[in-house]
Amino acid sequence: MNAELVTIGKQAKQAATTLAQLPTTAKNAALMAIATALEEGAAQVVAANQADLKAAEGKLAAKFNDRLLVNAERIDQMAAGLRQVAALPDPTAVIDRGWVTPTGLKIVQKRVPLGVIGIIFEARPNVTVDAAGLTLKSGNAVILRGGKEALQTNQALVKIIRESLAKQGIDPNAVQLITDPSHALAQEMMSLTGYIDVLIPRGSQRLIQAVVQHATVPVIETGAGNCHLYVDASADLKMAEEIVVNAKVQRPSVCNAAEKLLVHRQTAARFLPRVAERLTGLGVELRGDERARSIVPTIKPASDEDWTTEYNDLIMAVKVVDNLDEAIDWINRYSTHHSESIITKDLVSAQAFQDRVDSACVYVNASTRFTDGFEFGFGAEIGISTQKLHARGPMGLAQLTTIKYQITGQGQVRE
């Protein structure tokens, strides 16, 4: 095991023990102080970011350049985000429940921080500040490993965060950045059992799958969204059209955007031509099965791969299904279990869809784009879990905690 990494792990573990005991007021004061320090240190961050951008020149596609960019406005957004987190309730200041056993033991189930959280992410430097803010508020230490393209920016951000923590009397090792950009070190980080309690990868599907494959530390899988819309036989077609357009076009690059459209065969002939015209007019490329193409010949043929692909782009695959059962079976087979929606006026269809579709968020008559920590009212979001263990769907501060049983007796022994 890499010695530097073990040192980072030990320091994080140590910081976590003190963080877990900090009162909420101290954590909030630190969040506010970091926000101010970021605003005051904006010039340093922007300079570091310029260096990162220059180094990446010609190597990254335009959309990656935009993700990497940090300017004064984005620093203001980071600072505003920290102040919002400061205003949220402390997720560890919660006692879930308590009871007294027949032998008189008083058991209290209390929320506590997870401990040390590892975040492995790509080029977006705002993840550094977001993750530091959310983990600090929830009493966790964090070890960050960002993409090498953003290294100088992340170093500048973490320097400001750590200096603010130290000034507030908080162990700066609560927030640590891994500066060795090698893949070997990232892989060792995924096996840092005993020091890292949970790994949360944030970024592309490839990154997330690499972490799932290699980690021995428990992982929360986030973000894969091959989301489906199903337009039922009884759907209000105007409503369906608006939902399809919104779910596909409003922000196609995000995980809760719809990628697939299933249409009941009784509706297809009326619905597909109008929605295809609308989507095509908005720049969406449509791909479809034979039945869809027989109704709208401009739809391109879909390959097998299309049905499993998360495009994150202005592309949508369309399929005509015989009935609700086929729609549900199809979704359960090809979905990433993120978000799906049925558009229907039929109560039985709505109930069957919500009960039988095995995804984190199952909608009736609404856009999948609402799957989001802020839209759900959580006030923050660390990611959207597509696994079933620990957290499912939008993850807010509560999902960065675990429980502890505190049991108080008067000398009880077991018979």
- Site residues (CB under 8 A) for a copy of itself? 17, 20-21, 99, 101, 103, 105, 107, 114-115, 193, 197-198, 212-213, 216, 218-220, 236, 239, 242-243, 245-247, 250, 332, 350, 354-356, 358-367, 369-371, 375-377, 387-390, 392-393, 402-414
- Smaller CB distance to a copy of itself: residue 277 or 355? 355
Phi–psi pair at 260, nearest 5 degrees: -130, 145
CA triple 147-153-156, angle to 5 deg: 130
Shortest CB 378 distance to a copy of itself, Å: 11
Angle between helices 237-249 and 265-281 (to 10 degrees): 50
Angle between helices 324-334 and 347-356 (to 10 degrees): 20
- Smaller CB distance to a copy of itself: residue 228 or 287? 228
> Would you call 384 helix, strand, or coil by DSSP?
strand
> Would you call 11 helix, strand, or coil by DSSP?
helix
- Smaller CB distance to a copy of itself: residue 49 or 267? 267
Shortest CB 387 distance to a copy of itself, Å: 6
Q: Which of 258, 284, 265 is nearest to 363 (CA)?
A: 258
- Smaller CB distance to a copy of itself: residue 149 or 171? 171
Residue 94 buriedness (CB in 10 A; 0-12 / 13-18 / 19+): middle
Angle between helices 72-87 and 24-40 (to 10 degrees): 170
- Smaller CB distance to a copy of itself: residue 34 or 243? 243
Shortest CB 219 distance to a copy of itself, Å: 7
Shortest CB 409 distance to a copy of itself, Å: 3
Shortest CB 401 distance to a copy of itself, Å: 9
Shortest CB 333 distance to a copy of itself, Å: 9
β-strand pairing of 106-113 with 95-100: antiparallel
- Smaller CB distance to a copy of itself: residue 144 or 331? 331
Shortest CB 127 distance to a copy of itself, Å: 21
- Smaller CB distance to a copy of itself: residue 272 or 360? 360
- Smaller CB distance to a copy of itself: residue 64 or 334? 334
Shortest CB 251 distance to a copy of itself, Å: 8
List of residues 6+ apart from 254 with CB closer than 8 A: 225, 312, 369
| DSSP per-residue string spanning 260-293 | EEEEEHHHHHHHHHHHHHHHHHTTPEEEE-HHHH
Task: Estimate to the nearest angstrom the gap between the alpha carbon of 254 and the chain centroid.
Answer: 10
Q: Which of 67, 37, 31 is nearest to 49 (CA)?
A: 67
